[in-house]
Amino acid sequence: MAKPNDVAIYFDSSLCTGCKGCQVACKQWNELPAPLGHNVTEFSGSLQSPMDLNGDTRLIQTFHEEESGNKFPNWAIGRRSCMHCTDAACVEVCSSHALFHDRTAS
């Protein structure tokens, strides 16, 4: 449970594994529907799905592929969300501790 002084949600992309657990937790916590059916979301060649926020999606992880010079790409993982929750399910489920509350809003 969030404390009164927990005024900001911070995201540390260096700790994020890209598991999308925060996306699932947000949808479940807010009772938002998941897209159902075959080909609801067209394949974009990216790990990112859905591609943008909307009325039924308040949190997405973004994936940006970067050239690495190796046979495997580097991924820059980001996060876009509404950021309005004080008792945020996404923070509670983050097993890598990439999301956390902090009482300083700087």
State the CATH number of the domain containing residue 56: 3.30.70.20
The gap from C-alpha 1 to its chain's centroid, in whole angstroms, comes to 19
The gap from C-alpha 27 to its chain's centroid, in whole angstroms, comes to 11
The answer to the question of residue 75 being in a domain is yes
In angstroms, the CA 17 to CA 51 distance is 18
The answer to the question of residue 1 being in a domain is no
pTM for the full predicted model: 0.74
In angstroms, the CA 79 to CA 2 distance is 20
The answer to the question of residue 2 being in a domain is no
The answer to the question of residue 34 being in a domain is yes
The answer to the question of residue 3 being in a domain is no
For residue 28, give the 3-state DSSP assignment.
Answer: helix
pLDDT tens over the chain, length 106 residues: 555 555 678 899 999 999 999 999 999 999 998 776 555 666 666 777 787 888 888 888 888 888 778 888 788 899 998 777 878 899 999 999 999 887 665 5
- Give how many domains the chain has, as a whole number: 1
CB atoms within 10 A of CB 36: 6
